[in-house]
Amino acid sequence: MNVVILGAGLVGFQLADELIREGNDVVIIEKNPDRARYVAGHLDCMVINDEGTRLSTFKKARLARADFFISVTNVDEVNMISCGIVSGEYPDTVRIARVRNADYSRAGILSKSFLGIDFVVNPEVETARNIANAVALGADSDVMLFENSDMQIRNLVVKPTSFFRGRTMKDIKKTLDEPFLVAGIARGDDFIIPSGDTAVLEHDNIYLLASKNTLTRIFIKAGKKKEKIDRLVIVGGGKIGQLACQHLIRTGRRITFVESDYEICKALSSRFKRALVLHSDISDEDIFEQEKLSEYDLIVTTTNNEELNILTSVYAKSLGIKKAMALVSKASYMPIAARLNIDSIINPKHSTVDAILKFLRRGDIRSVHSLFGGKAEVIEFIASETCTLAGKRLMDIAMPHDSLILTILREGERDIIPGGDSVIRTNDRIVVISSKESVPEVDRFFSGTDR
């Protein structure tokens, strides 16, 4: 694919990085000269330092040959207007815009292909949905869900006393009489798709695939007892905090906000009548004692300060809060946060990138989940009528390097943890994990374009 990306912030950078590693031709437009220089020094693509709403800039970016134009600047209006310009000048190019302002969605203009936008992604909405899903499952890990399936992928950091520590995959499967797979292992800066002889080490972040009930039993055996979450405190009353509250308050949970901005507190009190709103700075440790926050079941830190989110979560758990969930955008902070006993880490950047990648690929792909800063992906394929794998046993399929079929989801039947004798049928949904470098080959493999 030929892709032009406007905006080289965290989302634009990761999206470009993932697309480049898949072998796509990427051009980035970034008006900030310092950021443009940084990106040019770290990514193998053309970087244009210019305004993103000029026709001359689009001509430099060779938009006439682009399959996709993706606008992910920090300004909604720039994203929408740039898509409008591209729509008028390059109507064959598919246009994607990141739009944060929920008022645009409520007005209904985005559902009518406003300004020629083909797909709108709202990072706050995607992130809040992920928070709500994680809370519903006990907030003790990150969560990947699959449509119309009970199968999930959740992660677990291996502690010194963990059941998994020092055991090989073969040993784990023999000892745990449960239908599950270890989908991947994040170790240091590496992401490993394990074989039977791979051993789990202390501090590994392992990703487990199984049904909801099976994962609950495995987590209990691993020392993570599922706790009921009735009372929770949300730190930060911004868009993500509000959207998360909107999801969670419908479930009957008792929610308390902690927000340092008085005007935001007034807006929260007006919008969420059943929530308690505290006007305070969470870094003031007295608030934990005065408001008895240590008695809560969960703290969710959603401020714009990642360091504060991490430190607040750690401090809250040291005082007795059962679970902690933190909003963390920087890929380098995520393994640190996991080691600091934070139960669930939500990455807004991943939520946005996953939504865009799913749209870019479309076709026979139902969902895409990035793992470990984009070093691996979990992809859900449909075995269409043209898929050459239909009718084959897994033992007869030579999967691309660094990839593994995790599960087969079949309508009307129980989801399958596959073995060598498992056979793929037409219309099966197949969940695959792959290293980033092997994703293009996996895509071709399941589409049947070169096999």
Domain annotation for the chain: domains and CATH numbers? 2-121 (3.40.50.720), 127-133+227-350 (3.40.50.720), 141-221 (3.30.70.1450), 375-447 (3.30.70.1450)
Per residue in 145-201, pLDDT (tens digit) is 777 778 888 888 888 888 889 999 999 888 888 889 898 898 887 888 888 899 999
Looking at the DSSP bridge assignments, the partners of residue 12 are: none
* SS3 assignment, position 183: strand
Task: Read off the tokens for 357.
Answer: 């990648």
Q: What is the pLDDT of residue 403?
A: 87
Residue in 96, 63, 331, 82 with CA at minimum distance from that of residue 191: 331
How far is C-alpha 8 from the geometric centre of its chain's CA atoms? 19
pTM for the full predicted model:
0.72
Q: What is the pLDDT of residue 450?
A: 43
Q: What is the pLDDT of residue 451?
A: 39
Cβ atoms of 103 and 80 closer than 8 Å:
no
Query: CB-based burial of residue 422 (10 Å sphere; 0-12 exposed, 13-18 middle, 19+ buried)?
Result: middle
* SS3 assignment, position 136: helix
Task: Read off the tokens for 148.
Answer: 């119309």
Q: What is the 3-state secondary structure (H, E, C) of 311-346?
A: HHHHHHHHHCCCEEEEECCCHHHHHHHHHCCCCEEE
Rounded-to-integer distance, Cα 354 and Cα 111, Å:
20
Cβ atoms of 349 and 10 closer than 8 Å:
yes
Rounded-to-integer distance, Cα 63 and Cα 73, Å:
17
For residue 387, give the amino acid letter. C
| Other residues' Cβ atoms within 10 Å of the Cβ of residue 115 | 19
Cβ atoms of 325 and 139 closer than 8 Å:
yes
Over its C-alpha atoms, the chain yields an Rg (Å, rounded) of 23
Rounded-to-integer distance, Cα 58 and Cα 50, Å:
10
Rounded-to-integer distance, Cα 410 and Cα 149, Å:
9
Which portions of the chain are predicted below pLDDT 70? 102-114, 140-141, 225-226, 361-366, 373, 447-451
> For 279-284, which contacts have Cβ atoms below 8 Å and span 24 or more sequence positions?
282/235, 282/258, 282/308, 282/312, 283/308, 283/312
Q: What is the pLDDT of residue 114?
A: 66
Rounded-to-integer distance, Cα 87 and Cα 114, Å:
10
Q: What is the pLDDT of residue 338?
A: 75
Rounded-to-integer distance, Cα 386 and Cα 406, Å:
21
Rounded-to-integer distance, Cα 277 and Cα 91, Å:
48
- 343-352 core/surface letters (b: 16 or more CB in 10 A; e: else): bbbbbbbbbb
- 215-237 core/surface letters (b: 16 or more CB in 10 A; e: else): bbbbbeebebeeeebebbbbbbb
Residue in 296, 289, 286, 291 with CA at minimum distance from that of residue 325: 296
Listed in sequence order, the residues at least 6 apart from 9 whose beta carbon sits closer than 8 Å to its beta carbon are 35, 72, 73, 74
